[in-house]
Amino acid sequence: MSATDLQFLPIDAAWTLAQCAALLEQLAPEQELQFYAADHASVSDPGAYIRVQRLGAGVWLRKAANHGWSTDWGRVPLEALRDELYRNRHAQLSGLQLSVARVQAQEGEK
């Protein structure tokens, strides 16, 4: 995958928890996965745009954002990411966005 590559991976309501986990486990450290979490609580617009990067074996960072707000990058267990992706699999109208990470995330930074 080159720096300009952007892929949209199809996902639908038929996806299982195991498929969601497998996708996250296959995420390379230089990649970033983005998806829309329709069920994320927000003070502005509904939902949040979720960005996920994998730092290494068993370590994932997650950041949520929407109009005017964002969280810091924070460690999240695979099971929590898997569950969030699974709950929101129906909300990915264009698919999941997979790209080269523009900047390698660091825990605790904006």
**pLDDT tens-digit profile of 67-84?**
889 999 999 999 999 999
In a domain, 94, yes or no: yes
In a domain, 106, yes or no: no
Task: Report the pLDDT averaged over residues 90-100.
Answer: 92
**pTM score:** 0.87
Which domain does 88 fall in, by range? 6-100
Average pLDDT, the chain: 90
Q: What is the DSSP string of 78-105?
A: HHHHHHHHHHTGGG-TT-EEEEE-SS--
pLDDT score at 57: 87
pLDDT score at 4: 59
In a domain, 90, yes or no: yes
pLDDT at 12 over 60: yes
In angstroms, the Cα distances linking 90 to 15, 31, 59, 85, 86 are: 9, 23, 26, 9, 8
pLDDT score at 1: 53
